[in-house]
Chain A
């Protein structure tokens, strides 16, 4: 969090580049008709988000994002798209265009209001001592020991519930395949 690179202009420049690429990829996902190209846009979005995570000092999350999203989830999506014969035209617009647009505009308005209105800086402008600063950094940091500790102490119930859910999915998939 300290260090001279963050306030420099090059940091902002790189941030703007990555953010623009991410949003452009997301727009490609929404507006392209060819499903496979849209999936590739989605992969680009995931990679851009990973880059943004790195800029936010959350490197672990960035790599896990690439590993899980850009690696596994995208393959799953592309496998699913492969099952569809006619991927060139994708999903056509139908008569529900206007209501969908209206709903989307309302959603965008709500999200924009929430983003602008939230107090992102939880600590405010207070001047903290170095020890408290270090403690805060430690508690909110992204490092694997901290995350591991959190997962196995405070959040152990969601962890076990997720594991149970994944096991159920695996067993269900095997049962589906073997049942034929």
Chain B
């Protein structure tokens, strides 16, 4: 294992503190202690953000719908997550008789685990992260596949035919959307030259949201689909499949699934902030306002921004049907991601080490390609729609009938 002490000053400092505290024979525990402390901080941060994120989402969703959100439980309803938690804990934990014990137990556990494990790679500052894997970006897209498996196991283990069907539909959607997600990140990898998240953040002289608009759009939509979030939340379409794979889960098991779902929103916002908006630095072009806020607060601010964007999309768009969802993934998002990858690769081959102005030219080219794709898609759909009116002809009815 590469030494964690080189780039990770936080790790090194905490390790020194632990080494001072422990006697000489137990010095191996310093490594363990340091790791566990950082894990504690990060997991707590994510869980706290998730809990208050659910509150914030309900309030903001209410304001998008010109109503107030929950405002009764504490001052301004701030204790609403606590009330939800208490309600879920005190509910009866039903388990259907035909349910598979181990699968039923494991599915929520795997979902929460796969959500929490991703946050280990996200850098909260220049040297405060848990692990800077040199394959960080691939790790980010690889771990949610475990969530996919656990969703299917949950649907199977419920012993309910409708849950299984809902789970199968959801898994089909999820594995279809993994492909555009990974290919859209290829453009970023080509530009950054490395898969390590710290390197990606530091390679962004211009934030990648400007340099790679197509990749941003594709990743945003694919990540929404991966999280089962509107407009892709056919899992929770109660009128269709009685709540899909989490029909039979009740009480705290259901609470864990909801935690995993909203935790994925938080973690995906963190990923989006790191990959597209320059992580812990300020995203605006003149980079000399860095010392205005500490880097952790920059990252959390960007995470909140993306969480608001997800809530905004949820408030606006209706649910898509499963066939529309699949068609969109394979026919629209995947070609877009491929086009983005080719354009980026061509630009990087032309200018392997771009200067600042050349980067701005790249921005222009990328946006031109994006608008070109949008126009092309519009025209292709428009031509499809104009056909019926052309095929209507006036038929001359003969005046006399013999």
Contact = CB atoms under 8 A, between A and B. Distances in A.
A and B touch in the complex (CB under 8 A): yes
Interface string B141-156: 1110110110011001
Interface string A1-28: 0111110111100000000000000000
Interface string B20-59: 0000000010011000000000000000000000000000
Chain A, interface residues (CB within 8 Å), range: 20 to 34
| Residue in B145, B156, B175, B178 with the greatest tally of chain A CB atoms within 10 Å | B145
A110 to B, nearest CB: 33
A72 interface: yes
Contacts of B149: 43, 70-71, 74-75, 78
A78 B135 contact: no
A3 B3 CA distance: 6
Contacts, number: 80
A10 B153 CA distance: 34
B138 interface: yes
A79 B168 contact: yes
Contact of A67 (B1, B102, B141, B171): B141
A135 interface: no
Chain B, interface residues (CB within 8 Å), range: 20 to 34
Interface in B155-199: 156-157, 164, 168, 171, 175, 178, 195
B145 A72 contact: yes
A82 to B, nearest CB: 7
Interface stretch (A55-63, A95-103, A112-120): A55-63
B8 interface: no
B363 interface: no
Provide the main secondary structure of the chain B interface: helix
Contacts of A67: 138, 141-142, 145
A66 B150 CA distance: 13
Contacts of A104: none
B2 interface: yes
A78 B102 CA distance: 15
Interface in A30-54: 36-37, 40, 43, 54
Given A43-B149, A78-B153, A6 B31 contact: no
A64 interface: yes
A8 B28 contact: yes
A67 B182 CA distance: 11
Contacts of A63: 135, 138-139, 142
A121 to B, nearest CB: 20
A6 B2 CA distance: 9
A57 B134 CA distance: 11
Contact of B28 (A10, A40, A74, A143): A10
A70 B144 CA distance: 11
B100 interface: yes
Given A10-B31, A75-B175, A79-B168, 16 more contacts: A2-B3, A3-B3, A5-B3, A6-B1, A36-B157, A37-B102, A40-B153, A54-B1, A55-B1, A57-B1, A59-B135, A64-B142, A67-B142, A74-B149, A75-B171, A82-B168
Interface of B: 1-3, 28, 31-32, 100, 102-103, 106, 133-135, 138-139, 141-143, 145-146, 148-149, 152-153, 156-157, 164, 168, 171, 175, 178, 195
